[in-house]
Amino acid sequence: MPFIIDVEASGFGRGSYPIEVGFARPDGSVFSCLIKPEPDWEHWDESAEQVHGIPRTTLFEEGCCVREVAQKLNEELKGEVVYTDSWGFDSTWLSLLFYHAGLAQLFRLETLSKLLSEKQIAIWGKVKQQVTLDLEIDRHRAGPDARMLQRTFEVTALASS
């Protein structure tokens, strides 16, 4: 099983920043952490909050500083290839996180689609929908979303073999 990562953000586009990162380990266990915004991270999109359900105030109350989050990611993921279903956004937000932490990212981020065959891509959406129902997860939270993607990958691989 691959490592799968997911990042929730303050919004999309210019000025957005990571607010939560989570990943699923090969054994299915999950790490997740809220991120305290840096002083110049001011962008907040109310429609994004409607999706992830994380108020900005919660980030200041419960979030970890960017350096702590980046160190934890490096500690657990060093030397690994980590997969995401949203490479364009997640790579940008992780780069921003590591830049502000003053650390190099010690793992490689790849798009999840690199692991999928055409047959698997064709059934992905249907399988993902069923897995989401089966797991009864809190969608659009980083840890549960990473686990849901990992389980979808597993079920898709079994269904296509």
pTM for the model: 0.93
Element (H, E) at 52: helix 46-52
**For residue 28, what pLDDT is reported?**
92
pLDDT in tens, 80-125: 999 999 999 999 999 999 999 999 999 999 999 999 999 999 999 8
Domain boundaries, given as residue ranges, for the chain: 3-159
pLDDT in tens, 34-84: 999 999 999 999 888 888 889 999 999 999 999 999 999 999 999 999 999
Residue holding tokens 């993607």?
A: 149
3-state secondary structure of 30: strand
Backbone angle region of 132, left / alpha / beta, with phi > 0 → left and psi within -120 to 50 → alpha:
alpha
The CATH homologous superfamily of the domain defined by 3-159: Ribonuclease H-like superfamily/Ribonuclease H (3.30.420.10)
Residue holding tokens 């980083």?
A: 142
**For residue 57, what pLDDT is reported?**
95
